[in-house]
A and B are shown apart, each in its own frame.
Chain A
Amino acid sequence: MTFDIPRIPLGRWIEGGLDWLTTEYSMVTRGISRVTQTGIAWLNDLLMWLPEWALLAAIAALCWKLANIRLAIGAVAGLALIWNMGLWNPMIETLTLVVIATLVAVVIALPVGIAAALSERLYRSIMPVLDFMQTMPAFVYLIPAIPFFGIGSVSAIFATVIFSMPPAIRFTTLGIRQVPVELIEAADAYGATRSQKLFKVQLPLSLPTVMAGINQTIMLALSMVVIAAMIGADGLGSEVWRAIQRLRPGDGFEAGIAVVILAMLLDRLTQSLRKPRREKG
């Protein structure tokens, strides 16, 4: 037996909504697009203007200072391999996208995460949204990005920000909520205002957790900017994409290995930021 239930036109509604958004807010989207484009170009130019060896040395020094000599050596070896494979410029393009997407994601995520930690109502309304953002297949974000921002890097950043933001929000909220009640009580007992409590107690104590969230965000951003090659983002992703289209597994793997190296480097580097300074030395 079959019932003749009309199909709910969910897809059509969403399309209608998106159309409306793109036409009504084309000013806004165009503005965002221009600003983002400029940012990407500027950072790209800066990183490419530096000679490879100089950037390599700078990154190695950073690794040494923030983590240890082993990471510095690893970074030099990995980056040298990328350089050698002729993937330096795509790597820089990918790095630029990751950095900018992460910056935008964190700038949005921190206040939202803090607000969600302090307000139970916001917390309860925002968690399902985050679940949605994270479980929706990443590719889906690429589609509406195009009518908003056209083919290219800006769309890639848009999709990446949405996809990579949830962990930063979640971890920020978690970190603040994990601060022991007795410390909050102590701050209250001495007459701390809400903002004093936040900046002197809650945020510093949640910092390691927040950093873990940012680390996750960076990893997700990296995976997304690679996928975003499908909508015309430059970088290592487009190398992989081209290798697929031309059926050249060697090229594909080379670019893939470059992604892995970049991922490991970013991961270790941000993880070393998580450790509170006083536990060192």
Chain B
Amino acid sequence: MNENRNVKIRVRHLSKVFGNHPKKALELRDKGMKRPEILEKTGQTLGLSHIDFDVYEGELLVIMGLSGSGKSTLIRCLNRLIEPSEGEIVIDGENIPELGDKALLECRRRHFSMVFQNFALFPHRTVQQNAEFGLEIRGVDKAERTETARNALKQVGLDGWEDAYPNQLSGGMQQRVGLARALANDASVLLMDEAFSALDPLIRGDMQQELLELQNRMQKTTVFITHDLDEALTIGDRIVLLKDGEIVQIGTPEEILTRPADDYVRRFIEGVDRSRILTAESAMRKVRSTVRDTDGPRTALRKMHEHSIDSIYVTRRDRTLVGLLEAESAEALIKQGKESIGEALTQDFRSVGPDEPMQNLFAMFSEKSFPIAVVDEQKRLLGVVVKGAVLAQLAQAAEGGNH
């Protein structure tokens, strides 16, 4: 993973006390008291305490915690829907808690789009008008915002529904409108507050995949709140684990699964050990598309476009795997006017047998992000494993283990 990424939002020392005399509560906190004692002594709730983390440009950061952990408070502190009691939140050099009313409005308009758990669509506005809301608030002229909102709706698969009202749509579709409203706004950060929690599991899985695809395409900095480990592991580039208003661990899904910071995290991911009986085959996906070794670079590139992937496995007619072709190599071949893809193939990918234990797959992902090829003894390509699938499988195993 790229280490020197730009920091988009820097959060330092962020705390939130619910009550009228936050100073007092914070003093007690500094003396080492915890939430229950402070509540008993002052009647005030320490919602968040000493939160430090960075959000990198273009990453999907998941803030995960159970109810009462302060995750909703945290995301609302970022755009000051809730006033933080202390600390700094710096976005592009601006310290949000210090902004005046006007600057705050400006900052919200420029930097933050938000998607809500219960959609929070405006019932008196059509789908189109909902998607336009952020632009309308910013005073974008009618023609431009119609166009932008239409595109956003298309991106989330809602073209043709512009004139419907939210109450005519299913939950999943309503949340797509919520997402379109956020995308149309084109703010630099997308805040998603339990955005998929109100959806039924099937729709939820679809939405997660779509979000990942959108994220791949647009590289939008996203802060995603969830209480669901499965979801966090599936979509998060990194995860911030919150407990009782404090951060327990920050790390990639792999780090959290393999090196839990303490017993709390360990209990959380309990059952993941079952990964030993999970194999590559269980997380494997049938290859959506391959290229024959006799195909030309144009065919290969077209197939990659069709499936929005940036590398593709190349096989012989009997499906034995000969290599991997990256989109850039294919483009280079076309530029050079070459017709055969043979010489541009790379062997720089991992292939495993179908009964490879799942936990071994982690390590392989950390180097390169190509999907792992699953092959049989004759080196015939059976399928591929993508990172999200491994994590999802592990997470499901974890849930199964908690019963």
Contacts and interface: CB of A to CB of B under 8 A. Distances in A.
Contacts, number: 57
Nearest to A203: B124
B224 interface: no
Interface string B122-133: 111000000001
A69 interface: no
A205 B185 CA distance: 23
Contacts of A182: 116, 118, 120
Nearest to A196: B137
Contact of B124 (A186, A189, A276): A276
A185 B114 CA distance: 10
Interface residues of A, number: 20
A189 B122 contact: no
Contact of A191 (B120, B123, B138): B138
B3 to A, nearest CB: 32
B133 A190 contact: yes
A190 B120 contact: no
B122 A191 contact: no
Overall SS of chain B's interface: mixed
A205 B124 contact: yes
A190 B81 contact: no
A202 to B, nearest CB: 11
Nearest to A201: B122
A190 B137 contact: yes
Most buried by A among B116, B118, B120, B165: B120
B171 to A, nearest CB: 15
Contacts of A189: 79, 81, 108, 112-114, 191
A192 B185 CA distance: 13
Contact of B120 (A186, A193, A204): A186
Contacts of A187: 133, 137
B134 A190 contact: yes
Contacts of A204: 124
14 contacts: A182-B118, A182-B120, A183-B120, A183-B122, A187-B133, A190-B109, A190-B114, A191-B134, A192-B105, A192-B137, A200-B133, A201-B122, A205-B122, A276-B124
Given A191-B105, A200-B136, 7 more contacts: A186-B114, A186-B122, A187-B133, A190-B133, A205-B123, A205-B124, A278-B165
